[in-house]
Amino acid sequence: MKSNLLFFFLFFSFLSFAQLNYEPGYIIDNQNKRTEVYIKNVDWNNNPTEFKYRLSKASKETLITDIENVKEFGIGDYIKFERFSVDIDQSSSRANKLSITKEPEYLNQTVFLKQLIEGDADLFYFHDNDKNRFFIRIGETDLQPLVYKKYLLTNKTLGTNSTYKKQIFDELKCESITLDQTRDLKYSKDDLKDIVSKYNMCSSSLNKVYENPNKKIDLNLSVKVGYFNSSLDVVYDGGAIAADRQGGDLGSQSSYRIAAELEYMLSSKSKRWSVFIEPGFQSYESSVTIFYESVIEANRRQDISVDYKYIDVPIGLRHYFLLSEKSKIFVNAAYVIVFDMSDKIEYSDNPGIVDLDIRSSPNLLFGIGYEFDNRFNIEARINTMRDITNDYTIVEGRFNSVGVVLGYKLF
C-alpha cells in the first residue's frame, strides 16, 4: 500500500511540474510579429538554439521553433533572449586546452544571447560548456564582446587578457564608476551586472534587470533501477580453541534495487558539482550447508540461511565532466546509511548455536556513469564491505555488492 502511494505521489508531482513549467511568454518572428505564447522554461544552462511552446495555457499541443525563425523570445519579465550574429571567442578555459595566443580566437555565429541588463547600456551573456562570454551595447552602437581570455605563456605560466576592464572604463563614463572599480572588476555576472547598472542609473532612470525573483532551487528528481550481484561471508573468530560453527560463505546472488534520487546542483551556472540522497530498497536471500568438527560428531551438519532486506540511503557528492550540451560523464561517492528490515541470520537447531542478529554498519559507495539528453543515465557502482552483524565482536557478516544502475530524471 505504501509503495503504491509513493508511486502515485511521484507520478502526479511529475505531471504537475510538466504543466507548470510552460510559462507565459512571447515570440517575435522574422517579420517582427509578436505572439503571446506559453514557453517551456527549462532554465537553460547553455544558450538554446530551439525551444518548445504552446499557443495557450489549456493547449496540449507542443510546438517547436528555432533560431532561424525567431528574432527574440522571453518569459515573464525575467527571461529574454535576442538573436545576434556575433564574433564569439572559441578559446577554451580548461587548463589542458589553453591557447598560447593572447588574442581571442573569434568565430562568427548566429546565437540567442541572454539579456541580463537593459538600459542605456545593455548587457548580454553567452554560455556553452566551458565558454562564458559577455557582450555590451551602448545606446544605438553595435554589440561588442567583452574580452577576457586565459592563455599559456612560453614558459608555461598563465597569462590573462583582461581587455574587458579597459572596455568598461572607456565606454561607461560616469562619475560613480572609478578606475579602481574597473581594475577590481571580475569577469562574472554579478560584477558586470553591478557596474552596468551603475552606469544606467547614472545616465538615466532606466535599468531593467532580468532575473527571476522566485528562481526555483536547482533540484533533480530521478527514479532508478539497479541490478546488483551481492555476496555474504560470515566470518567467525572465536580464538584458537573454539571451533568455527557459525562461519560460512553464503555465496553470490543477484537482485534488483529500486530507488528515488533527489539531487541538488551546487552551481546552477556550471552544473558540474552536486550533492544527492538516494533511498532505495534491495534484498539478498541465500542458504548454505556447512560441516564442522564437534566433540560428539566428526562431520556435523550446519544449515545457514538469510533473507536480508534493507533500505539503504546513500548521501553523496557527484562531479560531472561535460562532453556536450546533452551528454556528460559523472563520478560520485557516498556515505551509505542502512535501515534493516530483517532480523536474523538463521542456523539449524544445533546445541550451542544461536541465530545472529542483523545490525548493519554504514559503508561507502563509488560510481562512474554516463548521462545522455540530460535525462537518461547509466552507472557502474561498487559498494565497500558492510558488516551486517555489527553488534558482535567475534563474528563479522561481510556483505559486498557491485552492480549497474539505470536512471531517468523526472525533472
Question: What is this structure's pTM?
Answer: 0.55
Residues 226 and 353 in one domain: yes
Residues 241 and 209 in one domain: no
Residues 333 and 405 in one domain: yes
Residues 262 and 361 in one domain: yes
Residues 211 and 227 in one domain: no
Q: How confident is the model at residue 81 (pLDDT cuts 50, 70, 90)?
A: very high
Residues 174 and 156 in one domain: yes
Residues 249 and 317 in one domain: yes
Residues 211 and 223 in one domain: no
Q: What is the mean predicted confidence (pLDDT) over 314-329?
A: 87
Show which of 215, 231, 256 is a domain's final residue.
Answer: 215
The residue count for the chain: 411
Cβ proximity of 144 and 124 under 8 Å: no
Show which of 76, 104, 135 is a domain's final residue.
Answer: 76
Q: How confident is the model at residue 267 (pLDDT cuts 50, 70, 90)?
A: low
* pLDDT for 11 beyond 50: no
Query: What domain range is 130 assigned to?
Result: 83-215
Residues 292 and 327 in one domain: yes
Task: Name the domain count of the chain.
Answer: 3
Residues 265 and 149 in one domain: no
Residues 51 and 164 in one domain: no
Show which of 43, 76, 109 is a domain's final residue.
Answer: 76
Q: What separation, in Å, do the N-terminal and C-terminal C-alpha atoms of the chain show?
A: 25
Contacts for 236-242 with beta carbons within 8 Å, 24 or more apart? 236/394, 236/395, 237/394, 237/395, 237/396, 238/394, 239/394
* pLDDT for 89 beyond 80: yes
